[in-house]
Structures are given as structure tokens and as C-alpha cells.
Amino acid sequence: MPQSEPVENAVPRRERVCFLMHLKPDRVEDYLAVHEHVWPDMLDALRRTGWHNYSLFLRAEDGLVVGYLETDDYERAQREMAETDVNARWQATMAEYFVSESNPDAASERLTEYFHLA
């Protein structure tokens, strides 16, 4: 019996993205409090621009934030998000919590994925 060729998966592989940001250690509690009530229009914008399975993790003792998301195209998702008014307002609000008081999106450090077990 001949072997069939593998079927191409119709679902495009999502890009897995991990990044670091650095909070001011004395602002961690305030930062967490803000994230208990993320603006609904911010959540809608993230979804609309392609941010999926998005999580933030914190090492509270030094303010290290690790972000993870999945997206079809990270550069496009970032660019489209940067074009929204709600993101500009959110980033301006968040800036005071970060070591670098510039736009927190611009100060994030993307990590390289070197292993994945699906």
C-alpha cells in the first residue's frame, strides 16, 4: 500500500514571542493593581491587532516582567497596536512604572526562542 504524502496544515503556525521589561521595584504593587482592571478597549485592541494567548509574569523582588504571546506576525501586530489611540494612552499611563520611563513597548527586550516541545 503506498504511503500518502503528509497533508499541509491549513492553520498557519503562530509566532511565539517572549520579552522582558523592568519595573521600578517600588512600583510593582501599583502596576499589578492597574492590571486588575485593564481597559476593555485596550483588550479589544490587542485582540483585533493579533495578540493571542498573551500573558505577563512577574518576579516581584526586582520588578522583572516576562511577557509571552502568540501571533501570526509580531512586527505587524506591534505596528498595528502602536497605531491605536488606546495603546498610546495605555503606554503613557504605564511609563511611570518602568525603569525606563520611555514607552514601555519600545523598552521591551525580545528573547530568542531556542527550544520548543509541542
Q: Which positions are catalytic?
A: 35
- Going by C-alpha positions, the residue among 45, 53, 49, 56 that lies closest to residue 70 is 53
Cell output for 11: 492553520
- Going by C-alpha positions, the residue among 77, 81, 105 that lies closest to residue 93 is 105
In 10 A of CB 117, how many CB atoms?
3
Residue listed under C-alpha cell 521600578: 24
- Going by C-alpha positions, the residue among 37, 104, 50, 40 that lies closest to residue 79 is 50
Residues 48, 115: Cα–Cα separation, whole Å: 29
